[in-house]
Structure 1
């Protein structure tokens, strides 16, 4: 029986964009102050299990001791199916993220009702360090529990020989949610312009394979609005991300799919003129 987090506090982050508010399910928001007030208490707990239990009890009104009152962390979710790992990733709490993964690695492969992975919500919140931690965990094929969680997710538990941590990690990088967004799209859509959106590519680049890299995805995958990651980078006037994508994308790659980023650059006038030069010189 799933344990649902208290709906009067839990922030359901699975709402589609650009949907009239009357058509959405009611949002249940966490006050940021409530979360940040908990974080300084981290050092006061000798037992990190108690920290996790205390934090989620204070914020969500759930069980006082998660591991005893609800031994399976995978059963704890909001009405929109956000897990405790989704919520920790959304707020960029790397210590809690690490702790949850240690005790419930299966949560790495859970999706909410918007088909968001934990990578989607971490990128949406602009938490690059959390994205980096999650990617490193997906790619850690040496850890048996991660390997088994992946094989259970893919329903190939007996296929240990075919397990490839790097390829599996990239599959999650290109996973699309209900709006057709990958985690790279979500990073470009993040409203915090100070996060350095180009950093997410540099983090992904640490985990590339011989034949695939995140820069290809920036050109090839379009969301439901026909926007590639490159298009969104141009539209958001993110000079660093545009320059990095154009410099690093494979030379033999075709032109970007979907809406033209060149048109977006032209429409942006002042900053767009500088970005437009990138396209000219790269060509």
Structure 2
């Protein structure tokens, strides 16, 4: 044991002796030339520098000529462009680093291919001892400004050595660097992230949340105006996004002014918490920084408007419960919270506001353009929000109020339907006062942070064309609750071109039905069994597997003939009516077409029923097949009834069919959100 200690002590003494020897040596001064082509470093030299074998390294350097020494020190690099100093600093070779800095001090500011200095690599690797050597050497050369410049040197990512230490979570290295210069805390990189921001963003657990950030907060001088001095993104926003509650509490206690810092879109931390839908953070920040609740971002919205845009009812409730009169929360367009909810299609927020008695004053308020919440819902095709609004009695009292363009909500929805219909069909969008293409695309108007959210009331979202079905649903709803009062006869008026097209289409269908039904009478359906064979095959064991009897088959055939006859006569009458519809005026022709449409629909029904009975007769030997045929025919008959409605009603009244579809959609949407929550 004593022998081992003696050998170790002798080796240490010899290493110290060699170190002092090389430190006392001198090498020819070298002037590096940046335009010299780089060469691959000798692998043995790389190894000596990485393993801190300074004696072998400097023995090789002493052996070469002055010109070759200059090449080794300043021209020869590793594949990443690292010099010998980079290699020794990265691997924590303290002695080799100190000797290289003493004899070749210009290596201190040399950069590799990624513009990293030796200090960058040492900080990224967590080599505190090597960093101490580098810092001490830098302190002993040049002016104080040169030392600061050395610490603040950036690589190709814009990172200082402190950035790299924080990214790699080297706490003691970070503590040492900020003790040398607290200015490093405020410097941003290419991503506009300061070390203070990275300390929040890069934390992975509660302990690391507190440790790195606490180190930095303790290093900031008391008299520093951190709000104006800090560059880049706000660390408070990062704390909100990462739900770092401990960090938020530290900021509120030590540097409350930092809560006022805004992001690149002009939003303060309350805007950030609202956009993320975080209730605790919203309440905490509201209590610590109440002024932020009334600040507007670059889009002109307060935090509560951002929360509404995201459709988060709990965050909205957190704001409303903390202020006496929520009617004062207006954005730059004088839109209240219900305006924003209706425009963005957040029907759950709309329902919440309508259900709050203290917010009734907001319901029919008008914004800067004279729009009520119902106007905005109509304008943006927010069908569910519109449906929620029109069922409110206060909305219904002023449902025909006009906006600044003298348009009611129904007028706005009708205007949108014309534009979106033209866009959907590929036709040119009509111009003029009543058909302004401005309302078609949301990108042509500022959305103030509340337009085009992604949600259940938005089919496409984003800055795209309005959804055809959303607009038509909205128009259908408003037609029933806010449409113009007119005679029902007007619904059956058609244009001349429309009359001609309908006559031609219906006439073709009616003639085809007449031809098919006439052929069906000439070739009556019959069972595939031969006469007399059915009775001879019946036994007590297989009687349950037999099909219909001959008597029942005769009944079915008579029913088939009856419905086929009705279809034939209905189609013939429709054809006759359509033929003489050309001979009279437009009004009478429109009525004739309507009657012919009904007759043609009846003929189709009768023909389908006759077909079901024909199939039943043909497959009558199997009772199970007979039952399936009748049941399937009944289901299909109901479906045919629904899809034939547009044939019976005129196009001007076709909007009626959207309403029952909408009721079903609203029901399924409500069930979906109930199950989700």
**What TM-score does the superposition give when structure 1 sets the normalisation length?**
0.62
Q: What are the within-5 Å matches in structure 2 for residues 176-191 of structure 1? A: 176-191=154-169
- Give 1:224's match in structure 2, choosing from 180, 190, 211: 190
Residue of structure 1 in register with 2:146 after alignment: 168
Aligned equivalent of 2:69: 71
Deviation at 1:177, TM superposition (A): 0.5
**Are residue 127 (structure 1) and residue 127 (structure 2) matched?**
yes
Matching residue of 2:556: none
The runs of at least 4 consecutive aligned structure 1 residues that moved more than 3 Å come to 41-46, 48-55, 57-64, 245-249
Tell me the distance in 1 between the aligned counterparts of 2:153 and 2:45: 31
Q: Which structure is larger by alpha-carbon Rg, 1 or 2? A: 2
- Number of aligned residue pairs: give it: 208
1:47 aligned to which of 18, 33, 36: 18
Shift of 1:196: 5.7
Kept in 1, the 8 Å contact 2:123–2:131? The answer is yes
Matches within 5 A, 1:205-220: 214-219=181-186
**CA deviation after TM superposition for structure 1 residue 122, in Å:** 1.2
CA deviations on 1:65-99 (whole Å, 9 max, x unpaired) are 13323533334321322011111111222211111
**Following the alignment from structure 2 to structure 1, what is the Cα–Cα distance between the partners of residues 50 and 249?**
52
Distance 2:22 2:140 in 1: 27
- 8 A Cα contact 2:50 2:88, kept in partner: no
Which runs of 5 or more structure 2 residues have no equivalent in the other structure? 1-10, 24-43, 204-208, 257-677
Tell me which residue corresponds to 2:616. none
Aligned to 2:48: 56
Q: 1:252 to 1:184 in 2, by over 3 A?
A: closer
| Counterpart Cα distance in 2 of 1:115 and 1:276 | 35
**What is the rounded CA distance, in whole Å, between the counterparts of 2:169 and 2:234 in structure 1?**
22
Inter-CA distance 168–278: structure 2 relative to 1 (3 Å threshold):
same
RMSD: 3.4
Note the C-alpha offset of 1:54. Answer: 10
Provide structure 1 residue ranges, at least 5 long, that are not aligned to the other structure. 1-40, 142-146, 148-164, 205-213
C-alpha distance in structure 1 between counterparts of 2:57 and 2:129, whole Å: 27
Give the C-alpha shift of residue 43 in structure 1: 5.3
Aligned to 2:483: none
Query: Among 230, 244, 254, which residue is 2:218 paired with?
Result: 244
User: CA offset at residue 249 of structure 1?
Assistant: 7.0
CA spacing shift, 1:252–1:81, aligned 2, 3 Å: closer
Give the superposition deviation at 1:198. 2.3
In structure 2, do the counterparts of structure 1 residues 248 and 133 end up closer, same or farther at CA, with 3 Å as the change threshold?
A: farther
When the two structures are superposed, what TM-score results if normalisation uses the length of structure 2? 0.28
